[in-house]
Amino acid sequence: MYSLLKDLCDTVGPSGYEQDIQRKILHLVKDHVDDYQVDAIGNLIVKKNATHSHFPSLLMAAHSDEIGFVVKKIEKNGLIRFEKVGGFDDRILLSQPVMIKSENGPVHGVIGTISAHYVKWDDPNRVSNHRDLYIDVGGLTDEEVISMGIKVGLPISYGTELKKIGTEHSPKVMGKALDDRVGSALLINLIHQLNENTYKHGDLYMAFTVQEEVGLRGASVVAASMKPDYAIAIDTTPTSDTNDVLMTGTRVLGGGPCVKLADKSLISHPLISQHLMKVANERSIPYQEEIFMGIGTDAGAIHMTGEGVATGALSIPSRYTHTPHEVVDLNDLKNSSDLLLQFITTLDQLKGKNFLDT
């Protein structure tokens, strides 16, 4: 799983610029599915046909985009002004490495900051707006920067690479874009599992959605054509297990996948959340209950599609989300994968049920 995650996370693909990551995912899955399509706005949707008629259909969604930036202006002195794509905390931008997807290939850079030696003449508590910041790629004139293949409108991601940290028995990964390349990796792994083994399931749609980080835009159209019986989003969720202010200890790294009950975009359909917890208890898979109003996921858009879709979400705990150094426990990812597979292969228990059956 680590090598797959590294391949996905190290790819540049902010919202609206997901072409490279979508091509990579399609290459990994196209020979293992019964059908696939890329819709008008870039969602990659693949299908595994039903193996048993008594199972309802299910849509699973994970977003392939990441937070990032876009080149806004190249100054005469070669410094690059940028705009944010997705949600950021401006306090962490200073001195961060970045990667620009130029027309000549990847270009490394850094978000500039004044030397610490100047702080005594500055207000150390000042938080610079991102529009006051700039990226330095080593070019001293605009002509030099343009010669590197950089122009207005090109995508930028953080320049960190995925690394393993932790112990042998509790391995973790640290890097950018784990939100939500871990969900994408989980679906890719699931496709290979279903291809290698005989499981009973209904029609399964796996959607690798775009533009989630700028308002769940891809997910808002992805379910319209397939009209699934049920849907589930797979995404990360911020932990609250460190000693920082506001941390409540309700989502813990290493505590297992989080079964979402509510966030700002969704109150999970009880059929989905209850069945996830039932299966987890029966299979002795550790899990956590999630109520966190600080986030939204693709599930928030999917459940309001058409006449409505019974939708829930499964979340992988993550520390330091929306930073260059997100941290995920690989054991949580393994338990999330196990829970999702068991959920799929027991979904016949929900056949014909509705809201009033909970």
The catalytic residue positions are 212
Residue type, 62: A
**Cα–chain center distance at 218:** 13
CA distance 308 to 330: 34
**Cα–chain center distance at 15:** 11
DSSP string, 106-169: EEEEEE----GGGGGGS-TT----GGG--EE-S-SSHHHHHHTT--TT-EEEE----EEEE-SS
Q: Which residues contact 325 (CB under 8 A, 6 or more apart)?
A: 160, 174, 175, 176
DSSP string, 25-61: HHHHHGGGSSEEEE-TT--EEEEE--S-TTSPPEEEE
CA distance 311 to 88: 28
- To 10 degrees, what angle do helices 19-29 and 178-196 make? 20
Q: Report yes or no: 98 and 83 within 8 Å, Cβ to Cβ.
A: no
Give Cα separations from 24 to 1, 32, 267 (angstroms): 15, 14, 33
Edge-first strand listing for the sheet containing 326-329: 163-166, 171-175, 326-329
Q: Report yes or no: 234 and 88 within 8 Å, Cβ to Cβ.
A: no
Residue 348 tokens, joined:
């016949």
DSSP 328: E
CA distance 31 to 42: 20
Nearest Cα neighbor of 266 from 317, 224, 300 is: 300
Q: Report yes or no: 159 and 95 within 8 Å, Cβ to Cβ.
A: no
